Amino acid sequence: MKFGSPASWARLATGLCLALTAAACGSSAESGGETTASRAPQPPVAQQPAVLPGRAAEQEDSAQRSGVHRLLTERQQAELAQAWGLPSLPLAAPPAPARKVALSAGPHVTLAGDDLPALVRRVPTDDRVVFLTVDDGKEKDPRFNRMMRELGLPFSAFVSGYLARSDYGYFRDLNAQGVRVNNHTVNHKDLRKLNYAQQQAEICGQQDELEREIGVRPVLFRPPYGEYTTDTLRAARSCGITAVPMWNEEAFPDRMEYRQLDRRLHPGDIILTHFRGTEDWSGSMTDMARQVLRTVTEQGFALARLDDYLG
Ligand SMILES: [Zn+2]
């Protein structure tokens, strides 16, 4: 490995982090308890990595674990940020909660029926975190994956089969780097116009497709256009969906759009964006990521992994 360039340091950091336990890298640890009193975003000394719990455990090495926090000097951090066009490294999220959050009905959570999946526009948490969710799957930009991996930033994908199918390998790679690949239906139809059986085919068919192509059967589902009926929730429940995350903000390469009038992020907000590129946008997915990271960091938030809080 050639040392000295930000990219090489980033590769080293990523490689080391991936080789560590999830807890050592400050990421989701199913068995790890929430022990710290402070859950404010941490200074960017060691960034949270993408999560690979199974593989990480196999490759655990205590010597590497103790070294990762000292890995990057301030100068190297600055170089890494600069390499990705950022003024500074994003804030690292606090440890993931030991348990998924309990959901009760409120202004940002809708419970349409007793055991139906909850609709969530904002995750109830006091952590200074927000969640990035990337939908559809038309653009498959490996540079975006690399940026998020090198910066140790989590996000969640919501994939529609008819768009992903041209290259499921891209989403398998995402899954391998710790990004949960969730359900966004087979054909991205307006579900309000479909009957129950058709909706079930759209949602449960995508569960089957994700299981076949990627080996995952997610518990999070987002309906296309955010449109749904009670049948949608019943159909989703029938094939294992437990929560339906909506969004409060939408990110583009050149702007953020807010659904709330105060035009601010709030703890637990869900940011929507898309796997799109210059065919549809005025910039690339990495431009979009810079827009998100600038906004999130300026407002004192860190990106955390939605799947660690919800499901
Ligand atoms: Zn969509």
What CATH number is attached to the domain comprising 304? 3.20.20.370
> What's the whole-number average pLDDT of the chain?
83
Domain end call among 83, 98, 120: 83
Instruction: Tell me, yes or no, whether 236 lies in a domain.
Output: yes
Residues 201 and 276 in one domain: yes
- Res. 74: pLDDT tops 70: yes
Ligand 1 centroid – CA 136 distance (Å):
5
Ligand 1 centroid – CA 295 distance (Å):
23
Average pLDDT over every residue of 82-98: 93
Confidence of residue 72 (pLDDT cuts 50, 70, 90): confident
pLDDT digits (tens, 9 = 90+) for 142-190: 999 999 999 999 999 999 999 999 999 999 999 999 999 999 999 999 9
Instruction: Tell me, yes or no, whether 90 lies in a domain.
Output: no
Domain coverage including residue 116: 109-309
Q: 83 or 43, which is more confident?
A: 83
Confidence of residue 113 (pLDDT cuts 50, 70, 90): confident
When mean pLDDT is compared across 45-54, 78-87, 173-182, the lowest value belongs to: 45-54
pLDDT value of position 173:
97
Residues 151 and 197 in one domain: yes
Residues 140 and 198 in one domain: yes
Residues 169 and 263 in one domain: yes
Sequence-distant (≥ 6) Cβ neighbours of residue 136 within 8 angstroms = 158, 159, 160, 163, 184, 188, 274, 275, 276
Instruction: Tell me, yes or no, whether 208 lies in a domain.
Output: yes
Ligand 1 centroid – CA 163 distance (Å):
10
CA distance 94 to 40: 6
CA distance 157 to 278: 19
Residues 31 and 115 in one domain: no
pLDDT digits (tens, 9 = 90+) for 202-249: 999 999 999 999 999 999 999 999 999 999 999 999 999 999 999 999
- Res. 45: pLDDT tops 90: no
- Res. 267: pLDDT tops 50: yes
Residues 117 and 242 in one domain: yes
pLDDT value of position 70:
43
When mean pLDDT is compared across 13-27, 73-87, 120-134, 292-306, the lowest value belongs to: 13-27
Residues 240 and 179 in one domain: yes
* Domains in the chain, number: 2
Instruction: Tell me, yes or no, whether 103 lies in a domain.
Output: no
Assigned token pair, 206: 């995508």
pLDDT digits (tens, 9 = 90+) for 290-306: 999 999 999 999 999 99
Domain end call among 40, 67, 83: 83
Ligand 1 centroid – CA 92 distance (Å):
28
**212, burial (CB in 10 Å: exposed 0-12, middle 13-18, buried 19+):** exposed
Ligand 1 centroid – CA 160 distance (Å):
7
3-state SS, residue 157 = strand
Residues 79 and 123 in one domain: no
Residues 295 and 251 in one domain: yes
